[in-house]
Amino acid sequence: MRKKSTTAALNFNTKWSYSPAPESTDHVQIKEKYDLFINGKFVKPSGGKYFDTINPATEKKVSSIALASSADVDKAVKAARNAYKQVWKDMPASERGKYLYRIARIIQEKARELAVIETLDGGKSIRESRDIDIPLAAAHFFYYAGWADKLEFAFPGRKAQSIGVCGQIIPWNFPLLMAAWKIAPALAAGNTVVLKPAETTSLTALKLAEIIQEAGLPAGVVNIITGAGPTGAALVQHPDVNKIAFTGSTDIGRLIQKSLAGTDKKYTLELGGKAANIIFEDAAIDQAVEGIVNGIFFNQGHVCCAGSRLFVQEGVAKEVIKKLKDRISTLIVGDPMDKNTDIGAINSKEQLNKIKSLVKIGINEGGECWQADCEVPSKGFWFRPTLFTNVAQSSKIVQEEIFGPVLTIQTFRTVEEAIEKANNTPYGLSGGVWSDKGAKVFKVSSKIKAGVIWANTYNKFDPTSPFGGFKESGVGREGGLHGLSPYVKFN
């Protein structure tokens, strides 16, 4: 039996209100139109087509983005191949490192501008782009810059060599950060790159192209081609690409894996997740409540490692759910450019519709749905923080990735039951364990089949730490030394 808490109950009902604190956009330069970045220059797309990128918080157009055809993909791969053969492959490793350091420093210098653009283009709160996305993107470049001239120590006794041209495809949830995760280790290991950002969030990758120009990186070492699925597919299928690095949905990951079968291309796939966040009775409940909120509502829940399945030990379930509802009721949903905002806009109308349809399915399946009654703006794409109780292991919303601010809550009695339920998913990317007992944390975390487990915390990222999944969450690791190895080969 859990002892009654001696700490005072959390009281959020203080009726504090916040004055608006909008981030300024005066220092931001966004061009009306962006071309493709190929061979060190911005060039027009061969088909002459452009598409709009909009601000999901206002539905207003932000800029026009070039649509790369397969002829453009071919041009970018050729530029990357030439740069690989003629300059990058044989450049002294310490020189390669200097370019990466330079890119990292320029990202830091332009951090404010990059944060604002990330928020305008993708809908995430300015606080998160300012404090998480952009600093972590710079940190990845700094970290891998350090490895460039130490490859022989990274893989002792083996001679690591570059692979060649890497095709890299990234999603819309962490646009600049995902670009950094992909580009930094590839370049450090001596490869060249063709990167395709997601259709709805190309802007910070194109800003990165400007930074790359400013850093004086030799032409063709990094090429950035914008477009939708067919552009990505053309990159995957290009015969002169040696490695594919993909982050996105499990469905597209499967398609890519099929199309690579029988080729000698290397690949890493960073796919979906449906993480269990497990709260034991002996956990520090107030901290756990913060961890649950951070686990599922960070970045509007558009996070592959989001703690989207909450498991609470029966004895504290009532208390946790009550405190959770109290806390969620204080979250500010709205203008992502306001520094007070906790939850920004849903990235696209398409994603909003997907969230809505899964929530409807959850209700039809008998789930009990609770939503914060916060105000949301009339224009733009919004979804209130949502909890589901009375759901079963077989419920669609417990099994499928929603990729939005929706949490399912279930209870358990024993450690074994928690482990069994946590592992009952096709995914295996991440998880969280909250307990006062180190031995219990260790036992549970070692029995959950997931690439990353956080103990008494959630959603902590560091460039030195490997990240990646098991089962349908993908293959390969990014970050740390593990993230360097998919970009090298050994004789």
- 218 in contact with ligand NDP (CB under 6 A): no
Separation CA 79–CA 100 (nearest Å): 19
What is the distance between the alpha carbons of residues 118 and 124, in angstroms, rounded to a whole number?
A: 7
Q: x/- contact string, 275-304, with ligand NDP (CB under 6 A)?
A: -----------------------------x
Task: Return d(Cα 318, Cα 117) in angstroms, integer.
Answer: 41
| Contact between residue 192 and residue 80 where contact means Cβ atoms under 8 Å apart | yes
Q: Does 232 bind ligand NDP (CB under 6 A)?
A: yes
Of 23-31, 149-157, 264-272, 275-283, the segment contacting ligand NDP by CB under 6 A is: 264-272
Nearer to ligand NDP, 288 or 352 (CB): 352
Which one of the listed residues 128, 270, 400, 401 is annotated catalytic?
A: 270
Q: What minimum distance in Å lies between the beta carbon of 51 and ligand NDP?
A: 9
Choose between 241 and 279: whose C-beta lies nearer to ligand NDP.
241
**Residue spans of beta strands (DSSP E) within 338-481:** 368-371, 386-389, 406-412, 427-428, 430-434, 452-455, 470-471, 474-475
Helices (H), 111-160: 111-122, 126-128, 134-147, 151-154
Kindly tell me which of 252 and 343 has the beta carbon lying closer to ligand NDP: 252
* Catalytic status, residue 305: no
What's the first-to-final CA gap in the chain, in angstroms? 60
Kindly state whether residue 43 participates in binding ligand NDP, applying the rule CB under 6 A.
Answer: no
Catalytic residue among 304, 400, 472, 478: 304
Distance CA 20, CA 335 (A): 10
Choosing from 99, 267, 298, 403, the residue that interacts with ligand NDP (CB under 6 A) is 403
- Interface with ligand NDP (CB under 6 A), residue from 130, 182, 196, 327: 196
Q: Examine residue 169 and tell whether it contacts ligand NDP (CB under 6 A).
A: yes
Helix intervals (H) in 13-84 = 70-83
User: Which of residues 173, 191, 223, 277 is near ligand NDP by CB under 6 A?
Assistant: 173
Our answer to whether residue 374 is catalytic in this structure is no
Range 147-151 contact pairs with CB under 8 angstroms and sequence separation of 24 or more: 147/97, 147/185, 147/188, 147/189, 147/481, 147/484, 148/93, 148/94, 148/96, 148/97, 148/100, 148/187, 148/188, 148/189, 149/92, 149/93, 149/94, 149/96, 149/97, 151/93, 151/189, 151/484, 151/488
Q: What angle do CA 321, 8, 280 make, to 5 degrees?
A: 40
What is the smallest separation between the CB atom of 22 and ligand NDP, expressed in angstroms?
28
| Interface size with ligand NDP, residues (CB under 6 A) | 27
Among 73, 233, 441, 444, binds ligand NDP (CB under 6 A): 233
Q: Is 52 helix (H, G, I), strand (E, B) or coil?
A: strand
Can residue 252 be called a binding residue for ligand NDP (CB under 6 A)? yes
Interaction residues for ligand NDP, span 314-373 (CB under 6 A): 351, 354
In the complex, residue closest to ligand NDP by CB: 232
* Helix H or strand E encompassing 231: helix 229-237
| Alpha-carbon separation of residue 51 from 44, 172, 209, 304 (angstroms) | 13, 16, 19, 27
Taking CB under 6 A as the rule, does residue 224 contact ligand NDP? Answer: no
- In contact, 307 and 292? CB cutoff 8 Å: yes
Phi/psi of residue 322, nearest 5 degrees:
-65, -50
Smallest gap from residue 476 Cβ to ligand NDP (A): 13
CA distance 238 to 240: 6
Cβ nearer to ligand NDP, comparing 118 with 270: 270
Query: For residues 122 and 272, which CB has a smaller minimum distance to ligand NDP in the complex?
Result: 272
Stretch that binds ligand NDP, among 31-39, 126-134, 196-204, 405-413 (CB under 6 A): 196-204
Q: Report the residue from 93, 136, 228, 331 that binds ligand NDP according to the rule CB under 6 A.
A: 228
Nearer to ligand NDP, 51 or 370 (CB): 51
Interface pick for ligand NDP out of 199, 281, 335, 472 (rule CB under 6 A): 199
Q: Under the rule (CB under 6 A), what is the footprint of ligand NDP?
A: 169-173, 196, 198-199, 228-229, 232-233, 236, 247-249, 252, 255-256, 270-272, 304, 351, 354, 401, 403
Residues involved in catalysis: 270, 304
